[in-house]
Chains A and B, each alone.
Chain A
Amino acid sequence: MPLFGSLDTGGIAGVPVMADLHTDPLTIERADSLHLLHEIESAPMLDLIPPALHPTVPPTVSVWGWRCQGTEIGDFTVVQVRIGCRAGVRPRGYLLACYVDDDAAADALSARWGFRRDPGTPKLETMHHQTVVTVEREGTTIIDAALESPESISGGDVQYVAGMHLAETPSGPRLVQVDPEFTFHRADRGKPRLHVFDAAAVGDERIVPSWPVSSSFAITDITLPALRYVCRVDVPAMAGTEPVR
Chain B
Amino acid sequence: MKFGIFYEISVPRPWTPGAEKQVYDNCLEQVRLADELGFDQVWCVEHHFLEEYSHSPAPELFLTACAMVTERIRVGHGIIVCVPEFNHIIKVAERTAVLDILSGGRLEVGTGRSATWTELGGFGADPDETKKTWDEYVRVLPKMWTNERFGYDGRAFSFPERAIIPKPVQTPHPPMWVAVTSPGTEIDAADRGLGSLGLTFGGFAEQEKKIAEYRRRIQLCDPVGEVVNEQVNTVNFLFCHEDVKYGGEVGQRLAGTFSYMAAQLLAAREAYPSRSYPSLGLLPQLRQEAAGPGDPSGLPEGLAIGDPARIIEVVKRWESVGVDRINFLLNAAETVPQQEVLDSLRLFAAEVMPAFATTEKVA
Q: Is B21 an interface residue (CB 8 A)?
A: no
Q: Which residues of A contact B52 (CB under 8 A)?
A: 1-2
- Per the 8 Å Cβ criterion, residues 256-271 of B in contact with A are 257, 259-261, 263-267, 269-271
A158 to B121, CA, bound (A): 18
- Residue in B117, B266, B273, B287 whose CB lies within 8 Å of A158: B273
Asked if A187 and B260 make an inter-chain contact with CB atoms under 8 angstroms apart, the answer reads no
Asked if B121 and A213 make an inter-chain contact with CB atoms under 8 angstroms apart, the answer reads yes
Asked if A39 and B273 make an inter-chain contact with CB atoms under 8 angstroms apart, the answer reads no
Q: Is B171 an interface residue (CB 8 A)?
A: no
Q: Is B91 an interface residue (CB 8 A)?
A: no
Q: Which residues of B contact A89 (CB under 8 A)?
A: 259-260, 263, 283, 287
A158 to B257, CA, bound (A): 29
Q: Is A121 an interface residue (CB 8 A)?
A: no
Q: Which residue of A lies closest to B266 (CB)?
A: A56
Q: Which residue of A lies closest to B286 (CB)?
A: A89
Asked if B264 and A54 make an inter-chain contact with CB atoms under 8 angstroms apart, the answer reads yes
Whole-angstrom distance between the Cβ of B25 and the nearest chain A Cβ: 22
Sorting the interface of chain A by its residue count into under 10, 10 to 19, 20 to 34 or 35 or more gives 20 to 34
A216 to B259, CA, bound (A): 29
Q: Which residue of A lies closest to B275 (CB)?
A: A157
Q: Which residues of A contact B267 (CB under 8 A)?
A: 91
Whole-angstrom distance between the Cβ of A21 and the nearest chain B Cβ: 26
Determine which residue in B49, B270, B287 has the highest number of CB atoms from chain A within 10 A of its CB, and name it. B270
Whole-angstrom distance between the Cβ of A57 and the nearest chain B Cβ: 5
Asked if B271 and A57 make an inter-chain contact with CB atoms under 8 angstroms apart, the answer reads no
A-B contacts counted at CB < 8 A amount to 70
Asked if B271 and A2 make an inter-chain contact with CB atoms under 8 angstroms apart, the answer reads no
Determine which residue in A54, A88, A89 has the highest number of CB atoms from chain B within 10 A of its CB, and name it. A89
Asked if B271 and A154 make an inter-chain contact with CB atoms under 8 angstroms apart, the answer reads no
A57-B50, A213-B117 known; A159-B260 Cβ under 8 A: no
Q: Is B142 an interface residue (CB 8 A)?
A: no
Whole-angstrom distance between the Cβ of A83 and the nearest chain B Cβ: 13
Asked if A58 and B261 make an inter-chain contact with CB atoms under 8 angstroms apart, the answer reads no
Q: Is B155 an interface residue (CB 8 A)?
A: no
Asked if A187 and B273 make an inter-chain contact with CB atoms under 8 angstroms apart, the answer reads yes
Asked if B264 and A2 make an inter-chain contact with CB atoms under 8 angstroms apart, the answer reads yes
A54 to B265, CA, bound (A): 11
Asked if A57 and B49 make an inter-chain contact with CB atoms under 8 angstroms apart, the answer reads yes
Q: Is A193 an interface residue (CB 8 A)?
A: no
Q: Is A189 an interface residue (CB 8 A)?
A: yes
Asked if B264 and A56 make an inter-chain contact with CB atoms under 8 angstroms apart, the answer reads yes
Asked if B260 and A189 make an inter-chain contact with CB atoms under 8 angstroms apart, the answer reads no
Q: Which residues of B contact A216 (CB under 8 A)?
A: 273
A2-B264, A56-B266, A89-B259 known; A211-B121 Cβ under 8 A: yes
Whole-angstrom distance between the Cβ of A76 and the nearest chain B Cβ: 25
A161 to B50, CA, bound (A): 21
Asked if B49 and A157 make an inter-chain contact with CB atoms under 8 angstroms apart, the answer reads no
Asked if B121 and A2 make an inter-chain contact with CB atoms under 8 angstroms apart, the answer reads no
- Residue in A39, A88, A189 whose CB lies within 8 Å of B121: A39
- Residue in A60, A86, A157, A161 whose CB lies within 8 Å of B273: A157
A1-B12, A1-B13, A57-B51 known; A159-B273 Cβ under 8 A: yes
- Residue in A1, A56, A84 whose CB lies within 8 Å of B260: A1
Q: Which residues of A contact B263 (CB under 8 A)?
A: 86, 88-91
Known: A1-B261, A91-B263, A213-B117. 7 other contacts (CB 8 A): A2-B260, A3-B13, A89-B263, A157-B274, A159-B269, A159-B273, A189-B273
- Give the top 4 A-B pairs by smallest Cβ distance, nearest first: A89-B263, A157-B273, A214-B272, A2-B264
| Chain B positions near chain A (C-beta within 8 angstroms) | 12-13, 49-52, 117-118, 121, 257, 259-261, 263-267, 269-275, 278, 283, 287, 333
A-B contact pairs, 14 of them (CB 8 A): A1-B333, A2-B260, A37-B271, A56-B265, A57-B265, A58-B49, A58-B118, A60-B271, A89-B283, A153-B275, A159-B270, A189-B274, A213-B117, A216-B273
